[in-house]
Structure 1
Amino acid sequence: MSSSIEKDKPDQAACGSWELPEDLRMIRDTVRRFMQNEVKPVEDTIEHDAYRLPPEKLQALRKKARVLGLWCYRSPEEYGGAGLSLLGQAVVAEEISQCRMGAYVPACGALGSDPPNAVFLGTPFQIQKYALSAIAEGYKTYVAISEASGGSDPARSIRTRAERRGDHYVLNGSKMWITGVEGAGWGLVFARTGAAGDRGGITCFIVDGDAKGLTTKPIPVIRSYSPYEMHFSDVVVPVENRLGAEGEGFALCEKWLVEGRIPYAAATLGIAQAALGIAIDWARERRAFGSTLAEKQSIQWMIADSEMEIRAARLLVYQAAWRGDLGHRPKLEASIAKVMATETAGRVVDRAIQILGGMGVAKELPLERWYRELRIKRIGEGPSEVQRMVVARHLLGTPGRSG
């Protein structure tokens, strides 16, 4: 893939000294300039709560992103992505979330939409038909796990069933809170092929977005970008669309699920960093009671607390990414990073709103939108309570599986 940036490589010493390697600093600076010079000026021309750009403006940005080598940065290079390491993904995720719609549409969609990494473990047919087309065309995909019967432990509560009938399966059931459904070309659907309540009885299927018998409905929530309900009524899925063997659905995707929390956490810190920048600029200019807000100790401490918390959470994200890049399974580190980053971001944005007062909740600025949308980040990808459970069980040695 032609690129103006050099592909990063895991460096055992780099994060040991808590310094980003030079190649990642170059990538970060490239992305930062792209966001500042290309993405934000376009986003400023659209409605405050919009979650997509006009098609012609989006395509223009995507063309520039491809030239810079930023396209589908989480996907392998051999399939047309940028092929960044986990640490590289974290660095980029923090930068591209720093726009108004950045919580759920980073860089306003300019860098494409990476398909779920689990598909790259599929057959050559699956990779060719689904992964490569998603990367080449930039369309969205989804992962359908959660159901109304359970969210924090979906594997045991999944009721959607897949029945084998000769050369195909028939899916029946429903999913909830699924992101990326609108306009998706296809998605991964987890359905039960084994006994009820059996975590090992879950199988993963690739389901086309226009499959007969599949209906979807948006669920209005506090964020601008709605999740969806999905209903499967005798949806026929060819056997060749089964990802892995029967009953291996969660084992197949476990690495992807754990590692996905790392860029997820990093993205929330990007929003926190942007919110802190807004608060600092306001504090320097705004005057009250004969002096600027920046001269008042109460404001100084709020800003100092935000800076300290962002730095601490960022190092936890980097540590999780670094260990993953070295070949370790960073389940513990990813859980810690996810909790610390999402909760830090919520506090930082809350402080920024307090510093700005009435302007903090005005639609003119992105703070009120970030405040709403960051609240969901403490639930998605495994809620804070489940991540704390992972940490506690690691320390205490108590039985059970989670996360």
Structure 2
Amino acid sequence: MVDFSLTDEQREIRDWVRTFVERELIPLENEVLIRERRGEEPGLTAQERRELQQLAKKSDFWGVQTPVEYGGMGLDAVTTALIETELGRSFASFRFGGEADNILYHANEDQKRRYLLPTIAGERTSCFAITEPGAGSDAKAIRTSAVKDGPEWVVNGEKTFITGGNEADFALVFAVTDKELGADGGVTCFLVDRDHGWHSEPIDTMGERRPASIVLEDVRVPEENVLGEVGKGFPLAMQWIGKGRYLLPARALGSCERLLDMSIEYSKTRETFGAPIAERQAIQWMIADSQMEIEALRLLVLHAAWQVDQGRDSRHAQSIAKLFGGVKANEIVDRMMQIHGGMGYTRELPIERWYRDLRLLRIFEGTDEIQRRTIARDLLKGRVKVGATLG
């Protein structure tokens, strides 16, 4: 028999995060919307984010998945998915402090001292820079180059749609160091400080996120800033990309839960032709379909996370969860806007904001098409057998 119950610790953590979101994040939403309507930066301000992180740290909520030996909580994947779901209940995007890119743990001792530890402490900020104007889903097509010049590497190229690139003081830059070897042995990861000479420009989008375009022109990087080994950068990139893909639909799950709650309450009070719209079959079907899909998404997310905790190859399950989550989250937010009618279309309510934000889930960190390609190839090549995901 499969046991779907949570441990006492998991319930306590989930409930603590839900209370944090209700007390600290949701009350900020109206101000966030007002600032955005005035044309100011979307989302929480840097100061608000820091204050919230420090507030959570007082309750020992720091470094959710950071190993205990580095001062973090060292939580498992299922518990982390539960946390992301609760954080998704607010469109005021927030993450707890004390985290560092997973591939930074491959750093040598000197690099850990200069990059990893300060990042965990919140003293430094990084960004992952692999995507380029001509290399999005096809990460092997990167063109940024790095040429050895004495004790330094000279890096030239452009990165785009880099999350956190506007705020970061150093970047994990992937560059071609040997064209002949290609991605399998000719790509290297460099730790590149902003002070080394790269600059960034924000990219306006239809949602909250404002990724960066990063330009590197003859940026000189010391040899000691190679992360891992020369020519071994692509496996690091895939390790970064593959980590926590289940967390994206987990956060969307929380958004859908809140949206459905809002729509249920609205349908009980909004009347047409002398009765609440909750009594209309058309509304009831939208609510029922959304609940069905939310519960299906929850199981897909937790199953992918469970596989991670079991040490299994979870990439197939994560692709399924991300694909289903992206498609269904967009269908659900569309239904919830329909239930709210004209009010849902206005900026007086946060539904239109979620409508824009959730659309990104079908594009970034692997498009719907890439997920379908991955799922199909796994099946066609026999890497995964139909019906064998629990075996």
- What's the secondary structure of 2:97's corresponding residue? coil
Q: How does 1:51-66 map to 2 (within 5 A)?
A: 51-54=42-45, 57-66=48-57
CA pair 301-196 structure 1, distance change in 2 beyond 3 A = farther
Tell me if structure 2 keeps the 8 A contact 1:261–1:381: yes
Does 2:143 align with 1:152? no
Cα separation, 1, equivalents of 2:45 and 2:241: 32
Aligned length: 377
Which residue of 1 is the match for residue 65 of structure 2?
Answer: 74
Tell me the amino acid that sits aligned with residue 97 of structure 1: G
Q: How does 1:318-333 map to 2 (within 5 A)?
A: 318-333=302-317
Tell me if structure 2 keeps the 8 A contact 1:284–1:293: yes
Which residue of 2 is the match for residue 87 of structure 1?
Answer: 78
Tell me the amino acid that sits aligned with residue 95 of structure 1: E
Does 2:236 align with 1:245? no
Share of identical aligned residues, percent? 39
1:55: Cα distance to partner? 5.3
5+ residue gaps, structure 1, are 1-12
Tell me the amino acid that sits aligned with residue 20 of structure 2: F
Which residue of 2 is the match for residue 124 of structure 1?
Answer: 109
Which residue of 1 is the match for residue 351 of structure 2?
Answer: 367
Which residue of 2 is the match for residue 32 of structure 1?
Answer: 18
CA pair 209-365 structure 1, distance change in 2 beyond 3 A = farther
**Residue-by-residue CA offset, 1:318-359 (whole Å, 9 max, x unaligned):** 111111111112111111111011111111111100000111
Which residue of 2 is the match for residue 137 of structure 1?
Answer: 122
CA pair 150-167 structure 1, distance change in 2 beyond 3 A = same
Tell me if structure 2 keeps the 8 A contact 1:258–1:330: no
Which residue of 2 is the match for residue 308 of structure 1?
Answer: 292
Does 2:325 align with 1:341? yes
Cα separation, 2, equivalents of 1:139 and 1:113: 11
Which residue of 1 is the match for residue 279 of structure 2?
Answer: 295
Cα separation, 2, equivalents of 1:178 and 1:54: 19
**Residue-by-residue CA offset, 1:226-245 (whole Å, 9 max, x unaligned):** 11111100111122211111
Q: How does 1:156-167 map to 2 (within 5 A)?
A: 157-167=141-151
For normalisation by structure 2, the TM-score amounts to 0.91
Cα separation, 1, equivalents of 2:365 and 2:275: 44
Tell me if structure 1 keeps the 8 A contact 2:43–2:208: no
**Residue-by-residue CA offset, 1:224-272 (whole Å, 9 max, x unaligned):** 3211111100111122211111121121243332132111221111111
Tell me the amino acid that sits aligned with residue 62 of structure 1: Q
For normalisation by structure 1, the TM-score amounts to 0.88
* Aligned partner (choices 333, 336, 339) of residue 355 of structure 1: 339
Cα separation, 2, equivalents of 1:77 and 1:186: 24
CA pair 307-196 structure 1, distance change in 2 beyond 3 A = farther
* Aligned partner (choices 65, 84, 90) of residue 99 of structure 1: 90
Tell me the amino acid that sits aligned with residue 209 of structure 2: Y
- What's the secondary structure of 2:103's corresponding residue? helix
- What's the secondary structure of 1:44's corresponding residue? helix
Tell me the amino acid that sits aligned with residue 173 of structure 2: V
Tell me if structure 1 keeps the 8 A contact 2:115–2:124: no
Tell me the amino acid that sits aligned with residue 80 of structure 1: G
CA pair 154-189 structure 1, distance change in 2 beyond 3 A = same
- What's the secondary structure of 1:206's corresponding residue? strand
Which residue of 2 is the match for residue 4 of structure 1?
Answer: none
Cα separation, 2, equivalents of 1:169 and 1:119: 20
With 369-378 and 129-138 compared, the bigger mean Cα shift is at 129-138
1:316: Cα distance to partner? 0.7
Does 2:364 align with 1:380? yes
1:398: Cα distance to partner? 8.0
Tell me if structure 2 keeps the 8 A contact 1:174–1:231: yes
Which residue of 1 is the match for residue 387 of structure 2?
Answer: none
Does 2:281 align with 1:273? no
Cα separation, 1, equivalents of 2:178 and 2:299: 41
Cα separation, 1, equivalents of 2:351 and 2:168: 29
CA pair 319-54 structure 1, distance change in 2 beyond 3 A = closer
Tell me the amino acid that sits aligned with residue 88 of structure 1: T
Cα separation, 2, equivalents of 1:221 and 1:196: 36
With 37-46 and 294-303 compared, the bigger mean Cα shift is at 37-46
Does 2:105 align with 1:114? no
- What's the secondary structure of 2:189's corresponding residue? strand
- What's the secondary structure of 1:183's corresponding residue? coil
1:210: Cα distance to partner? 3.1
Tell me if structure 1 keeps the 8 A contact 2:330–2:359: yes
Tell me the amino acid that sits aligned with residue 242 of structure 1: V
1:139: Cα distance to partner? 5.0
Which residue of 2 is the match for residue 7 of structure 1?
Answer: none
With 49-58 and 387-396 compared, the bigger mean Cα shift is at 49-58
With 198-207 and 40-49 compared, the bigger mean Cα shift is at 40-49
Tell me if structure 1 keeps the 8 A contact 2:81–2:250: yes
Cα separation, 1, equivalents of 2:382 and 2:143: 28
Tell me if structure 1 keeps the 8 A contact 2:128–2:162: yes
Tell me if structure 1 keeps the 8 A contact 2:98–2:122: no
Which residue of 2 is the match for residue 225 of structure 1?
Answer: 209
CA pair 303-365 structure 1, distance change in 2 beyond 3 A = same
- What's the secondary structure of 2:135's corresponding residue? coil
Tell me the amino acid that sits aligned with residue 131 of structure 1: L
Tell me the amino acid that sits aligned with residue 127 of structure 1: K
Tell me if structure 1 keeps the 8 A contact 2:173–2:190: yes
